[in-house]
Amino acid sequence: EVNIGVGSEEGRTFISIRDTGIGMTREEIKHIFDRFYRSDKSRTKEKGGHGLGLAIAKIIILGHNGKIKVKSKAGQGSEFIILLEEKPGTGRD
């Protein structure tokens, strides 16, 4: 199951993506934004995935002066929180 939430708080927009999947260990979390890293050992070249998705996502988020945070526990799922500064004059009060 995947849940997505969006909101605004203290001049920041946040996007939360939470799942109830297998989660990750602290050691895996340290590397998930590294290019070509695959935390799921069952993923092979034949099964797909290149280990670039989160690395690219982080570059895009940082390019918009944002931040990305990760919360995860093995066996309990993961949550990614993207924080973006709201620009003045966007009509959000």
Q: Cβ contacts of residue 70 below 8 Å, gap of 6+? A: 24, 29, 32, 78, 79, 80, 81
Q: Which two tokens stand for residue 75?
A: 């066996």
Gyration radius (Cα) of the chain, Å = 15
Q: What is the mean pLDDT of residues 37-61?
A: 74
pTM of the model: 0.77
pLDDT given for residue 32 in this prediction: 87
- Residue 42 has a pLDDT of 47
